[in-house]
Structure 1
Amino acid sequence: MSLLKVNNLTKNFGGLAAVSNVSLHLEKNELVGLIGPNGAGKTTLFNLLTGVYEPSEGDVLFEKEGKEERLNGIKPYKIANLGLGRTFQNIRLFKELSVLDNVLIAMTGKEKVGVLTGILRLPKYYQMEKKMENQARDLLAIFDLLDKEGEKAKNLSYGEQRRLEIVRALATDPSILFLDEPAAGMNPQETAELTELIKKIQREFDLTILLIEHDMSLVMDVCERIYVLEYGQLIAEGEPEEIKTNKRVIEAYLGGELTC
């Protein structure tokens, strides 16, 4: 049973099919790429998989404890609680809050205490609070952000904000991590560091990752399989070497060479 299975997924906006009849699957611990020209429907597909949009047709099925759960129509926060975490193409941090608080907010709902315990601030409440802070700091340390924990998120460099967004997604304890153009706006050095970081995340966090990215060198380096979208439709699937030489894929990239 696949960890995530997408069957004939379609999303219409008025008379436009932004995603049309897309089927794909993700297996446990895979690192899979999703590529395509601008406007191909990649982020729309991510939004369908994470509950931001509801499909017009088709199904999104998530394997949870040996059972398939249909995600259609489920709110994004409930999907996140099920184990699907994501980052966004445009960074969405709480800019005025501290780095640590950004991570702690993402962890809300992981640890639960009774209403009375929370209202009266009983010892169990403070134990839970301390545990979450320790977990948040452990994550920040992995991403070289621990020394920034007290700074406002808006004061981080662009690359650091990108890393913090990934930390925040990991703080939800996902089974699947959706990364939407994590290298966008990064310089070559930052992109190289991100490439190694993505490999580390998959290895150390026992995750399945689906990655949207325009940097083909990054995609070809880290991904085991790649799906290619054009005008909302899947036009290819395969291993990196297959995709690099696929004529339909090369044509989709404005008729030019798929540089990697």
Structure 2
Amino acid sequence: MSLLEVKKLTKNFGGLSAISNVHLELKENELVGLIGPNGAGKTTLFNLLTGVYQPTEGSIEIETNGQRESVIGKKTYTITDMGFGRTFQNIRLFKNLTVLDNVLIAMHSKSKVGTLKSVLRLPSYYASESKMKKEAIELLKIFSLENKVDELAKNLPYGEQRRLEIVRALATKPKVLFLDEPAAGMNPQETADLTALIRQIQKDFKITILLIEHDMSLVMNVCERIYVLEYGRMIAHGTPEEIKGNKQVIKAYLGGE
């Protein structure tokens, strides 16, 4: 059974079809790429999968306890609770909060402590807060950010802000992690470090990753399968080697005739 299954997904804005009849399938612990020219609809597809937009037609279902459950019509925070985590093309951190607080906010979405216990500051509240803080710092260590816990997010260098956004997404304990152009704006060394980091994330966290990225060396190096969008339609799907040799993809995106 697939972890995530998308069928006939379509999104129209007025008379314009941004996504048209898209099929996509993700299995457990896969690292899958989504590529295509600017304006192909990649971020729109992510927005549909994570509840930012609602589709005009089609289905999006995630496997939960052996059953298929639709995410369509649900709030974004509910979809997060169902196991979808994401980063954004443009970094969306809480810039005026500390690095640690950015992660703790994400962790609170999974907290089992109720409102009454939080208001009354019962012992279970303090125990939960202490546990979350410890887990947050351990998570930041993996991304070499443990020494920045008290810094404001806005004061981090660009590459570290990118890493923090990934940490925050992982703090929600997702089944599927959507990475929207994580290498955007990075220099070659930062991109190389990110490539190794994405591999490590999949290995250590045993989650499924869907990656939007324009850096083809990164995509070809880390992805097991690749989907290709053009003008909102899926024009190809296959292994990196198959995509490299696909004439339609070469003409539409990779360069060449």
With the shorter chain as reference, the TM-score category is over 0.9
Pairs within 5 Å for 1:158-237 = 158-237=158-237
Question: Over residues 222-253 of structure 1, what are the superposed CA-to-partner deviations in whole Å (9 max), with x where a residue is unaligned?
Answer: 00000000000000000000101111001102
Which residue of structure 2 aligns with residue 118 of structure 1? 118
Q: Distance in 2 between matches of 1:85 and 1:115?
A: 24
Q: Distance in 2 between matches of 1:48 and 1:115?
A: 31
Q: Distance in 2 between matches of 1:180 and 1:17?
A: 21
Question: Over residues 8-49 of structure 1, what are the superposed CA-to-partner deviations in whole Å (9 max), with x where a residue is unaligned?
Answer: 000000000000000010000000000000000000000000
Question: Over residues 27-76 of structure 1, what are the superposed CA-to-partner deviations in whole Å (9 max), with x where a residue is unaligned?
Answer: 00000000000000000000000000000000001001101001111111
The one-letter code matched in structure 1 to 2:247 is K
The one-letter code matched in structure 2 to 1:3 is L
The one-letter code matched in structure 2 to 1:223 is C
The one-letter code matched in structure 2 to 1:81 is D
Which residue of structure 1 aligns with residue 95 of structure 2? 95
Moved over 6 A (4+): none
SS in 2 for 1:37: coil
Identity %: 70
Which residue of structure 2 aligns with residue 2 of structure 1? 2
Q: What is the deviation of 1:111?
A: 1.5
Q: Distance in 2 between matches of 1:84 and 1:91?
A: 18
Which residue of structure 2 aligns with residue 73 of structure 1? 73
Q: What is the deviation of 1:116?
A: 3.0
Which residue of structure 2 aligns with residue 16 of structure 1? 16
SS in 2 for 1:2: coil
SS in 1 for 2:7: strand
Pairs within 5 Å for 1:123-138 = 123-138=123-138
The one-letter code matched in structure 1 to 2:34 is L
How many residues were matched structurally?
257
Q: Distance in 1 between matches of 2:32 and 2:26?
A: 8
Question: Over residues 113-163 of structure 1, what are the superposed CA-to-partner deviations in whole Å (9 max), with x where a residue is unaligned?
Answer: 233322211111100000010010011000000000000000000000000
SS in 2 for 1:253: helix
The one-letter code matched in structure 2 to 1:157 is P
SS in 2 for 1:19: strand
Q: Distance in 1 between matches of 2:168 and 2:162?
A: 10
TM-score of the two chains, using structure 1 as the length reference = 0.97
Q: What is the deviation of 1:109?
A: 2.4
Q: Distance in 1 between matches of 2:108 and 2:117?
A: 16
- Root-mean-square deviation (Å): 1.0
Unpaired stretches in structure 2, ≥5 consecutive residues: none
Which residue of structure 2 aligns with residue 63 of structure 1? 63
The one-letter code matched in structure 2 to 1:112 is K
The one-letter code matched in structure 1 to 2:117 is T
Unpaired stretches in structure 1, ≥5 consecutive residues: none
TM-score of the two chains, using structure 2 as the length reference = 0.98
SS in 2 for 1:229: strand
SS in 2 for 1:190: helix
Q: Distance in 2 between matches of 1:115 and 1:37?
A: 46
